[in-house]
Every structure is written in C-alpha cells, then in structure tokens.
Structure 1
Amino acid sequence: MAAVVAAVGLLPWLSGRDPALTVLRARSAEQAPTPEALAAVRAGLGLDAGPAGLLGGWLVRLLHGDLGVSWVSGTGVLPTVAAGLGVSLTLMGAALAVALLVATPLAAPALLRGRATGGTVAAVLAAVPEFLLALVLLLTAGVWLGWLPTSGWAGPAHLVLPAVTLGVPAGALLGRLVADALPAVLEERWVESWRGAGIGRWRITGAAVRRALPALAGQFAMVAVGLTGGAVAVETVFAVPGIGRTALGAATSQDLPLLQGCVLALLGLGLLAGAGASLARRRLLGPASREAGLGLPAPRPRRIPLAVPVALASVLAVVIGWGLLRDPYAVDVAARLAAPSGAHPLGADALGRDVLARLGHGAAATVGTAAAVTATGWLIALVLGFVPGAAAGLADIANALPPVLTGLLVAAVTGPGSGAAALAVALVSWPPLAAHASALVREVRASRFLAAQRAIGAGPLWVWTRHVLPSVAGPVARHAVLRLPGVALALASLGFLGLGARPPSPEWGLLLDESADYVERAPVPALAPAVALALLAALAVCLSSLGGTRRPQDRRSPRRRPAGRPPARRAPGVLSLPHTPSLPPSVPASRKVRSRVAPPS
C-alpha cells in the first residue's frame, strides 16, 4: 500500500506530460504557452522540485490534512473530495440495503431446505456489469415508463435507480455465495451429531450460518470493493456527483491533485472494507480457531446443459461473423439513427455507420485484447504460483483495487487508450489464477508419485519440467479461458467510461458509450452492444459452471455410503498418479483443507 500511495503522490511526475501546460490552458486558454509562463506555473505548483521533493511535499501536506488545490477549478481538493465521498457513501449504503433484499430470497432455499436453487439466475445477475444494468434501467424505468428521474441528486427519488443498479449484482453474488456454502456445511459430520442429539432445526441452521460466515467474510469484503468500482460507472450514467464521477472527470481532464484525493478516498473505502471483514472473521472464529485454517467444503457444482453455452456462443459467432463481412467505417449521412432494415440489420449510429458491422469488428478488438490480457495473466500466475509467499501481499493489493480504479491511475500516467485499459485489467486479473497455480503446486509436491520419482534418481529439473509444470500449466490455462469473457467485460467497462479505446474504434464499451446519448431516439442501435455484452456475461457464467464439474467418484455424497461399509482403500504398494483437478474460478485455494470441526457454540 505504501507503493500505491507513493505512485499516487508521484502522478504529476509519472504522467510524462507537462502539468504546467495543463494548468495554463485551464486558467487561460488564450495565453500563449511561452517558456516564461510555463516556468512561472511550475514554480507556483512546486513541480520544479523533482520527484523526491514533489512526493515529500505532497506527503507533508497530506499529514496536515491538505490535499492541495485543483488545477482546473482552483478550489480546494479536500472539500470537493469530502462532498463527493458523502454522496457515494449514501449511495453505497442504499445499495447494500438493496443487496440484502436481493440476497435473502436467493439464500432462503439453502436455509430452509438445505439445498441451493436458482443458482443460474443469481450467477447471471452477478455477472452483468453495472454500467450495462444502469443503461437498461435508465431506458425502461426512466425514459419509457417515466417512473423515476434519470439524472441528478436532488432527493430520495434520485437515489432509487443508482442504488438498484449497484445492489442487484452485489445481492446476487452474496446470495449465491451463501446458497453455495450452506448445503455443503449442512452435510458435515457435526450436523448429524447434533441431529442425533435432538437439537432443533433452527438452532442447527443458525450454527451452520455461523460456521460459514468466517470463510465468506473475505468474499463479502470483495463485494464492498466491487461497489466502490461499480459506483464510478453508475455515478457517470446517472450524473450523480459522487467520488467516482469526480475521479473520472479528474482523470479525463488531467486534474492530478483532484485525482490524487479521489484515489486516496477510494483506496480508503477498500481498506476499511477489508479491515472490517478481517475483524469480523476473527470475532466469529474466536481465539481457538483463528490459526486452524478453517475453510468451507467445496460446493456442489450447478450443472448447466451443454446446449446453453453452445447456443449462446453460436448466436455471438453468427452476429460477429456477419458483421465482419461489412464495413464498420462507411458513413451514410442519410441513414443517421436509422431503424433496422435490410441495408442495416441492426440500424445505424449517429453518423450513419452500420451498427452490425461495428459490432462484429468491435468483437475482434475486444475479445482479441482480452485474449492477450488473459495470456499475460496466465504467464504471471505460473511464475508466482511457485512462490506463493512472495505473491500473497501483491495479490491482496490487486484484489483491493477494482479495474476501474486501476484504469483511472493508468490513464493518469499514460493517457486513455486501449493499451492503458489492457494494462489496467492485466494488473488486477492475475490473483485468482496465481492462487489456483499455487494450490496445484502444493498438491503435486505432496503426491507420492513425485516421491517415487525422486527415489529412483530423478533430478529436480526433470521433476519440475516433466511433472510439476505440465500438471499445473494445463488446468490453469483452462481456468484462464473460463475467465476470458470476464476480462472482456472489464475492458468494455473501461471503454464505456472513456478510459479505453478511442474513437473511431468499434470497441464494444465505446459503442455503448456513444449510443447512450441517443438511446431514447434509436433504442435498437443503442441496445445492440448492450445485448452482446449481456450474452457475453451469460456465456461466462455457463463456462464457469462447466469448468467446475466434479469427477465421477466425487459426485456421491459421503452420507449416501451404505452403513457399516468403510471407504475403499488403496492396496499397499500401489503408486498413485498425481491428480491435478481443474478448479473453477469460484473455488478458493483453501479448498485443500476440509475441516470437520464443529462451529463454536
């Protein structure tokens, strides 16, 4: 975190541009940028002190509660950040209330009957990006039906649509986490013992919830961090004057002092969420269980018919292939905002360009960039998976930084662009793959097969290159492929916010941003990229479910074993081949420990 704070403090120097020119243009657009004028601005801002002096002066002012003065407006940064932070906290509180309302019915079947239902619906809702849901609610409830205001921050009515937009995906994720954890907990041995002792059903259910909460506390903190990142897009769509919209405006206008204050505020929210989850976990576990490595059993995978992802992929492939055959840059002024027709199957945009063509060519740019980012994350995971101790701290920092916040920092240094968006997503997308790789490395190292290899004289290089690395690279590569649609959605969200690809690129997020201005006049051309992103999110959910299928020998629950029959044992002297399961993205690394410890009473 010290490195992140230092990077924020050095933003004026890391940007590579002349901040004095930005300030001069913001103060007086007519004044010529002469060397004398620029030198005067640098002296007034203290930019001529060099990187060390710049960082030191900024830290001293920060310790005294002074965040500086905005380069664009000339007002103090601290009052602006405080006002935006108050609005964002109000919005996040309302979003958490909506999330609880959404999560309750999704977790109720697991509480009442010990089984999870509706997992596909929860998974799809959790995978829908906030900016996409915001546009759909804006169009339906705000424009077509006219039930609620669509922009501004003037009363409780303006809070409803942004809170619902943030709360629905968060609530679906919370409900899915609880619904996946409770059935596995209710199959543990202590539950059978409690039932045999005559303890009531509701008391057992309460104990199961307490048993599951410590392991889920970290996931709940990540939901709060997700609210912080999603608030940037939601506040932008609904014109809410929160800290996220303020940070986005500061990044696009190169107002670095204001961006520094906003980034520190967003980082503070993430740190508070993580610290709160850690304290809650320690409190729930108690002193006797804190160091026991208490984890949850692996949840039963939800089976989705293979025809569903095949159908989704086929629809996307047909639309993309059809669009690739057309020209995405041809302008037809007479067809501006045209409805779907034979000449333009999905209509035309504000410049008369064919939406289908731009959708097809944008998929190549979006998915191609996502593939490059995924491959980079796979390579990073393979390297750091063999040194999990050194990667643990970096993974914690990367998990605490949403892609939007990282995109703001990268855009402030390199400027907006497709390369900046790819770098921002790559910086925060590798920890799940690295955790998977480290878990597989530990499992392969502990296998008796490697012990036998060493016993017959195999050297360390032979063991690592012929056994350990192949056993890890394949499953992690499959895991990375499952995360490819999610990476594409993250890139699209940065493009929607103006931090990714620049016009006239047909990138999907940029298409959605361009079409948002005329969504009420031409809904079909505006909703075409939105539907494509929704199909991509559903495909990501289906692929992750297919990736989490259990092995045939694990499908039967231990409780169904005939009474009195001991589990099958391997004959002595028989060597076992190393097993490297392909863990789904949702399974934590702590799965390797399946404690059968009764929860604290």
Structure 2
Amino acid sequence: MRGGAAALISRALAFTAVVVLIGALPWLSGNSPEYTVLRARYADRPATPEVLAQIRAELGLDGGPVAVFADWASGVLTGDFGTSWISGRPVLPGVVDAMGVSLTLMGAAMAVAFVVAALTCVPTVLSGLAGRPARGAGAAAAALTALPEFLLAAVLLIVVAVWAGWLPPYGWRGPEHVILPALALGLPGGGLIGRLLSTALAGAFTERWVHTWAVAGHSRPRIALAALHRALPGVIGQIALVVVGLTGGAVPVEEVFAIPGLGRTLLGAAAAQDIPALQAGVLLLLVLAGICGALAALARRALLGPAARSGDLPVPGPPPGRRRTWWAVPAVSGGLLLGLILAGLFRDPYASAHGRLAAPSWALPLGADAAGRDVLARVGHGALDTLGLALAVVAACLVIGLVVGVSGAWSTGPVEVTNAAPPIIAGILVVAVAGPSAAGAALAVTLVSWAPLAAHTAALVAEISARPYVRVLPLLGVGRARILAGTVLPTLLPEVTRHAILRLPGTALAIAGLGFLGLGQQPPAPEWGLLLAEGIGYVERAPWTVLGPAGALVLASVLAVSLSSADVARRGAPPGPASAAAVPGPSPELVAPAGEAVPVPVPLEPVRR
C-alpha cells in the first residue's frame, strides 16, 4: 500500500480510537457511575441495590457498553452531549460557555505570544539584512521557553497581584482579569514560537537569493518579508502545535487564577467523576486541535502557492554556526540543580521537627513548610520522585517510539493525534479512570510523550533505508525483517536514545505540572509540583515555602531548553525529527526572481511542554 493511503487510513483509525476511548469512559472509570450520582444528587437515600438499579436505569447504563456508546455517539451527532451526572442538566451549554472563556484567554495569550515572538526575531532579521550569520533566537527566548506556565502563573499572582496589588488576583469579570493569565500563557508560548521562527529565519537569510535581491536593489523591508515568507511554511505546523499546547497550559493557569474556563471545568469534572461533562470537554478539545491543524495546513498551502503541488522533499538550509561554549548553560544549570538535590538528600524530608513556617537559617537553608518539615530536604528527596519517575517514563517512551516509528506511514495518525494532546489533558483522563497517583501521572505523560521519538525514528528509518548499501540488500536475498533488525535499528538506536535522554528534564516538568494540579503523587510525598502547590497558600507570609521547589523547577526548565539548544549548536543541525515531524507531507521549493531554487529551511523541533 502506498504511503499516502497508509497515512490517511492511519489518521482515520487514530481518530476513531480516540472517539471510542472517550465514549467508553463510563465503563473505564474505576468508580461505579450510580454511586457517583447517588452521592451528588441523592445524599439522603441509602445505597440499596434497588436504588442503584434505578439510578442506572435513569442514566441509561443498563443497556451495556455497546448500546451506551451507540446512544452517546448518536447524541453527539445530533448535538446532544448528554446530561451531567452531578447537576442533572445538559452538559453542552456549560461546556460551550467554558470553551468561550478559554478561547478568549487563548486569543489574548496568542496576542502576547506573537508580540514576544516578533521581538525575539528582530535581532535575527537585523543580522540577516546586514549580511551577518545568525544562530537564531538568543538567551531571552530560551529563558521564556524554560518557564512552565503553572510556575509563571504562581509568580505573577504573588508578585503582581498579591504583593504589588496592581491587578486582581482571581476571577473573570473584566479586561483587567485577562492580563495576568494571558502573560502566564503567552510569554512561554511566545518564546517557543520565537525560537522556531528565528531559527528558520536564520536559515533563510543564509540562502543565496537574499544576496541576489540585495544586489538587485530590493528594499530591506521587502527582503525581510520575503525571508519571513520563506521561513513560515516550515514552522507553521509547529506553531499550530504551540496553539493547541496552550489548552493544556491553560488548565493550571485557570486553576491558579480561578478562571471558569474549559481546563478548570475538565479538572472539576474529573475530580467529581462527572463523566458526561468530561466527555464533552475532551471531544471539543479534539475538534479544536483538528481545526488548528487544518488551518495550519491551509495557511501553509496559501504561503507556498502553486509550489504546494510539488512532490520534492524539504532540503535543510545551511545550519547556524557552531558555538564553542554550547555546554556552558546546561553545565551551570545542571550543576546548580545537582548541588541543590545533594544538599537535601542527607536530611529527613518527613520529620516535623521544626517550627511551623520557620524562616531560613543556617540549620534550615530554605526554611520549613506549614508542617514544620525541612524544605531543602523535601526538595532533595523530591528529585528522586520527580526525576526517577521521569526516567522511567522516558524509557517507556523510547520503546514505544521505536516500535511505532518503524511502521513508517502507519505511524502518521497516532503521532498526529498524540501530538495534539497535552500531558495535563491526558492526566485528567487518567484520573477520571484510575484516580490520582504517581503511576497515573507517569502513564499520562507516557501516553502523549512518545510521539516525537516515533517521528524521529520514522524519519531515520526512511533516511537509512534510502542509503545505497541498504537498498541493495534485498537484491542479495536479505529479508525485510533482517534488514530492519540487523542494519536499520542498530544504526538509528544511538541517535534516538540520545534524543530521549534530552527529553528527561522536560518530562520531569510535565510530571511536576500534574503534581501541582493534584493529579499525580499525593501528600506527604515530596514531589516538586506537589511541594509548590502546598506552599502557594502561604507564600505571602512565608515565601521560602515555594522558593525551593520553584528554584528546582526553574533549573530543570533551563536545563531542558539549554540541552535542546546546545545540541543544535554542537552538531550544527536541528535535532531529531525536525524534517519529518515539523514539515509533514510533500514540501515544495520556492523560486527566487533570479531563477534559483530556494530550499525550505527546517526549523528546530519544539520543546514539548
């Protein structure tokens, strides 16, 4: 079967599998639906078999999984998404209202993100117009990308709203309530978009047509716009992923600022086991992801014009120059993080031997928390929970990525669907099924983190299989399985393994984000996200309760982003699956006025947030 048909079938099967999963949530949930409804609606009625049977009949669950799924699916097709198990009212109006709030917040966040991205690209454009080689975005963009949304939201709430009193800390009642959450979402997103676009612009400005245009007398603004036109097709798909990723980042931001958006609604529905509301919200998010992907594809075709019908594969532009000090930032951030962890490992993280909210001292370098426990000890031991769990997740993602990636075009659908699901949304679904736990958090992050490794594997399989010494093996009687196991996999395994290791700090941040929302490990575990959530309520009078976990998270964030950037600087090329994952499908050539074929620059792969 040809690759295009396989990819199309793969997309259809992946979408169908997700819809079936959503429809099966009432049966996957570890709690019986009748008990959930009885507790919410009829607290004064005894849980007798007769009462439970009556409730099951009211919910229509007595027909079995197939009948219930068919009834739910037919209702969705007619606009009926079911009735809330908690309130007894139709779920669609409430979910649509929450979606409107979230879309408003996302629009404001994207405005912030595009402003930040534009400012980030200014130095690259100026260097390119001056004829100087540029390496893409600088330290400012990397620093913004390194800020987790939930941590930035907490800092803005504390500093701007609580301490300075400049803006309201909670609610959604006017334009002033949009500013802080939009900044918390837009600043990291803008840093990431800026890095992607700046790297693509740096590659575009090194192409020969830029010099030709300058010699021909074209103005600098026109050259800059042409370079932007050249760079956008390669990154617009990744920008769409960033937009979809804002949905996942909006969940903790909406929780911190008490915004009645879709993310907070889903979090409440999962906690209350209100499965119909959860089904409606997740399905709308899936539709939103599909719309963003379709719009990105249309925008890319519009930018490319007639060239979009070309079947040529993308050709990477000249890579940025190599930097001799690529190791400096990851070495410093990693060293500080390691020192913080080692300093806490030799202390007791559970003993309440100190005064409640005791201030920092020689005996307590980071003070004590609300239970009188040593914050430094809890941060150090929390690394074993957070980073140890992240290591297990990375290993699982590596195995899944290899297995799925070697399937070639059949991996297209699962990779695209998984890329559209932020870890927090997966965490909400896992909590709805199995409840909050460390294993649930690891499972949620694993479910959505293998896709970049699978895309990387698929790209390397295609590249290695096209080499002459591999293409001749079938003519010598070597079977496909033997070629794959004996030649292709040993060649790509070191590269994909290195890619997986680079994702370890980012995976730890995803696990910490779930812990911050109460979807991961539970007290008294010293997990970093949980430590931050426990200390956020005391930050006004005891800010040291959050300084330790916040510092560890910031260092891990800087390490994650700097490792990605350093790898590009050291190797002089984008890591991993940039060409396969970032530029799906046929990628055309643009032709400069002088007749020179201009290859499409391949940008960095985005850091999964």
Are positions 1:497 and 2:490 aligned together? Answer: no
Contact 1:301 1:550 in 2 (8 A): no
What is the match of residue 181 of structure 2?
162
Distance in 1 (CA, whole Å) between partners of 2:281 and 2:22 is 10
Does residue 1:598 correspond to 2:596, yes or no?
A: no
Asked if residue 56 in structure 1 is aligned to residue 70 in structure 2, the reply is yes
Distance 1:549 1:508 in 2: 30
Q: 1:587 to 1:40 in 2, by over 3 A?
A: same
The residue matched to 1:109 in structure 2 has which SS?
Answer: helix
Match of 2:416 in 1: 396
Query: 3-state DSSP class of the match of 1:75?
Result: coil
**Residue 308 (structure 1) aligns with:** 329
Contact 2:160 2:167 in 1 (8 A): yes
Q: 2:339 aligns with which of 286, 306, 318?
A: 318
Structure 2 CA distance for aligned equivalents of residues 506 and 128 of structure 1: 21
- 2 CA distance for matches of 1:191 and 1:596? 15
SS at match of 1:330: coil
CA shift in 2, pair 1:549/1:471, >3 Å: farther
Question: What's the counterpart of residue 225 of structure 2?
Answer: 206
In 2, the alpha carbon distance for the partners of 1:218 and 1:594 equals 12
Q: Over the residues paired in the alignment, what is the CA RMSD in angstroms?
A: 2.4
Match of 2:118 in 1: 104
Matched, 1:24 2:22: no
Q: Separation in 1 of the partners of 2:208 and 2:119? A: 27
Distance 1:189 1:289, change over 3 A: farther
8 Å CA contact retained: 1:476, 1:582: no
User: Does the C-alpha gap of structure 1 residues 348 and 302 become closer, same or farther in structure 2, counting only changes over 3 Å?
Assistant: farther
Deviation at 1:430, TM superposition (A): 1.2
- Name the residue aligned to 1:583: 575
Partner of 1:272: 291
Paired residues of 1:109 and 1:116 also in contact (CA < 8 A)? no
- Say which of 530, 533, 536 aligns to 2:553: 533
Gaps of 5+ in 1: 556-580
2:457 maps to 1:437: yes
Structure 1 stretch displaced more, 78-87 or 367-376: 78-87
Residues 60, 318 of structure 1: alpha-carbon distance in 2 compared, 3 angstrom cutoff? same
Which one of the candidate residues 35, 43, 55 is aligned to 2:49?
Answer: 35
Kindly tell me: are residues 76 and 112 of structure 1, through their superposed partners in 2, closer, same or farther at Cα, counting changes over 3 Å?
A: same
Q: Is the 2:137–2:199 contact (alpha carbons within 8 Å) kept by the matching residues of 1?
A: no
Give 1:45 deviation, angstroms. Answer: 0.5
Q: Secondary structure at the match of 2:191?
A: helix
CA displacement 1:184-218 (0-9 Å, x = unmatched): 11222333333343333322222221121111110
8 Å contact 2:314–2:579 — kept in the other structure? no
Deviation for aligned residue 1:345: 2.0
Residue aligned with 1:85, SS? helix
Identify if the C-alpha distance between structure 1 residues 550 and 308 changes in structure 2 by more than 3 Å, giving closer, same or farther: closer
Native 8 Å contact 1:207 1:599 kept in 2? no
Deviation at 1:7, TM superposition (A): 1.3
Shift of 1:160: 0.7
> 2:27–2:65: 8 Å Cα contact kept in structure 1?
yes
**Change over 3 Å in CA distance of 1:444–1:328 after alignment to 2:** same
1:329 pairs with 2:321: no
SS class of match (2:64): helix
2:600 is aligned to none
Is 2:307–2:589's contact at 8 Å kept on the other side of the alignment? no
Aligned length: 572
In the superposition, the TM-score normalised over structure 2's length comes to 0.89
**What's 1:288 paired with?**
307
Deviation at 1:461, TM superposition (A): 6.2
1:245 Cα shift?
0.5
Residues 488, 137 of structure 1: alpha-carbon distance in 2 compared, 3 angstrom cutoff: same
Deviations 1:165-189 (A, max 9, x none): 1110111111111111112112223
Structure 1 pair 588/534, CA: closer, same or farther in 2 (3 Å)? farther
| 1:370 partnered with 2:390 | yes
- Could you tell me how far apart the structure 1 residues matched to 2:223 and 2:362 are? 63
Unpaired runs of 5+ residues, structure 2, are 1-14, 129-133, 596-609
Judge conservation of contact 2:455–2:577 (CA < 8 Å) in 1: no
Mapped to 2, the partners of 1:526 and 1:211 lie a distance apart of 44
Structure 2 counterparts to residues 240-259 of structure 1, below 5 A: 240-259=259-278
Shift of 1:299: 4.3
Q: Which amino acid aligns with 2:189?
A: A
Q: Verify the 8 A CA contact 2:136 2:195 in the aligned structure 1.
A: no
Work out whether residues 366 and 547 of structure 2, in 8 Å CA contact, stay in contact via their aligned partners in 1.
Answer: no
Give the superposition deviation at 1:75. Answer: 2.7
Report the CA distance shift for 1:233/1:136 in structure 2 as closer, same or farther (over 3 A).
same
Aligned partners of 1:150 and 1:284: how far apart in 2?
Answer: 41
For 2:99 and 2:587, the matched residues in 1 are separated by 41
Using the alignment, how far apart are the partners of 1:40 and 1:291 within structure 2? Answer: 62
Give the aligned residue type for 2:56.
R
Q: How far apart are 1:59 and its partner, in Å? A: 1.6
Deviations 1:396-431 (A, max 9, x none): 000111111111112111222111111111111112
Please say which of residues 171-180 and 539-548 is displaced more in the overlay: 539-548
Give the partner amino acid of 1:416.
P
CA distance in 1, matches of 2:94, 2:476: 69
Paired residue for 2:447, among 427, 443, 455? Answer: 427
Change (3 A) 1:480 1:338: same
Distance 2:421 2:366 in 1: 37
Q: 1:463 to 1:258 in 2, by over 3 A?
A: closer
Distance 1:309 1:124 in 2: 12
Larger mean CA deviation between 400-409 and 342-351 belongs to: 342-351
- Identify if the C-alpha distance between structure 1 residues 514 and 585 changes in structure 2 by more than 3 Å, giving closer, same or farther: farther
Q: Distance in 1 between matches of 2:556 and 2:518?
A: 21
Answer whether contact 1:298 1:587 (CA < 8 A) is retained: no
The answer as to whether partners of 1:489 and 1:537 remain within 8 angstroms in 2 is: yes
Q: Could you tell me how far apart the structure 1 residues matched to 2:65 and 2:287 are?
A: 24
Q: How does 1:549-588 map to 2 (within 5 A)?
A: 549=569, 583-584=575-576, 588=580
Report how far residue 545 of structure 1 moved.
2.2
The equivalent residue for 1:343 is 363
Larger deviation, residues 286-295 vs 387-396:
286-295
Residues 248-271 of structure 1: per-residue CA shift (max 9 Å, x gap): 010111111111121122222212
User: Could you give the per-residue CA deviations for residues 425-450 of structure 1, whole angstroms, max 9, x where no partner exists?
Assistant: 11111121112222222222222344
User: Is this contact kept in 1: 2:81–2:90, CA < 8 A?
Assistant: yes
